[in-house]
Amino acid sequence: MNNTITLNDGIKIPAVGFGTFLIPPDGSTYKAVREALDAGYRHIDTATAYYNEEEVGRAVRDSGIPREEVFITSKLWVSHFGYDRAKLGIERSLKKLGMDYIDLYLVHQPYGDVLGAWKAMEEAKAEGKLRSIGVSNMTPKIWNSLVPQFGVMPSVNQIECNPFSQQKAIREIMAENDVKVECWGPLGQGSKDLLMNEAIRSIGERYGKNVGQVILRFEVQEGMIVLPKSTNPERIKSNLDIFDFTLTDDEMAAIRALDTGKTKHDPDAPGVGEYLINNYPIND
């Protein structure tokens, strides 16, 4: 079972998606995605720069689940920004996934010729190749410098978000524009501090739920989409098993109070775009 959220363009997206960052394309992605689909996930998050789109596509096909029942997100990498390069990048993703449309496609990182890339994505949406389009890693500063120049409002902004990093400023801007938050690193990327937090653990005890489940439930109850990643079959299952309990207002307030107002990744820091291009090369 999974909650569904309606995006600002009317497209419906399952609130819990399966994250695939850092799962290698050596058969591990195929295996993890098959396990996730068997466990009931119907939303997979991949990216050109994860190098695993091909295995994601193959896992979905081999699962036998009809294509229209699985929501696929992929992302355009910085080396495919600019109008012409973006057209090529979109075709590359479709080809690697082996699909004739992608449910949601994101500008992965907000550096370089984002406006040209966005125009190509708007056109691909109009042509039906991309059902919905969105952005990622946009801070208020980046959002305000780019989004007012877009023709189509993004449907999501995929940002680092978890109980220690609740992203209140950008979430307010997005709420004003009916843009949904997708939480990357919804479990703090495995952070021990977060996953052993005593306040969260004691809330979970009341419901027979583990810390990861309470965190994901909190984020979904806040109206956000979450993308937990795991290669562990038990954790793959438990991360989706969050729809049979509801946190009370007091419990929600207690978890909101854990916000530090900081994030680990700072998209506004100088040199981030160059660092990403150098560390995640895409050569075609």
Positions in the binding site for ligand NAP (CB under 6 A): 19-21, 45, 108, 136-137, 158, 184-190, 195, 212, 227-232, 235, 238-239
Residues 6+ apart with CB under 8 A from 275: none
What minimum distance in Å lies between the beta carbon of 215 and ligand NAP?
Answer: 8
What minimum distance in Å lies between the beta carbon of 273 and ligand NAP?
Answer: 13
What minimum distance in Å lies between the beta carbon of 159 and ligand NAP?
Answer: 8
Q: Closer CB to ligand NAP, residue 82 or residue 212?
A: 212
Q: Closer CB to ligand NAP, residue 190 or residue 261?
A: 190
* Structure tokens that stand for 189 in this block: 């990327």
Distance spanning both ends of the chain, measured CA to CA:
39
Active site residue 30: no
Q: Closer CB to ligand NAP, residue 57 or residue 212?
A: 212
Q: In the chain, which residue ranges form alpha helices assigned H by DSSP?
A: 28-39, 53-63, 83-97, 114-126, 140-146, 168-176, 192-195, 198-207, 211-221, 233-238, 249-256, 272-279
Amino acid at 73: T
SS3 12: strand
Distance CA 252, CA 259 (A): 12
Catalytic residue (choose from 50, 105, 207, 275):
50
Q: Closer CB to ligand NAP, residue 221 or residue 231?
A: 231
C-alpha to C-alpha distances, 89 to 42, 82, 199, 253, nearest whole angstrom? 24, 10, 44, 42
What minimum distance in Å lies between the beta carbon of 188 and ligand NAP?
Answer: 6
Contact between 154 and 147 (Cβ < 8 Å): yes
What minimum distance in Å lies between the beta carbon of 212 and ligand NAP?
Answer: 3
Q: Closer CB to ligand NAP, residue 27 or residue 128?
A: 27
- Would you tell me how many other CB atoms lie within 10 Å of the CB of residue 90? 24
Q: How far is CA 95 from the centre of its chain?
A: 21
Query: Residue 159: beta bridge partners?
Result: 183
Which are the catalytic amino acids? 50
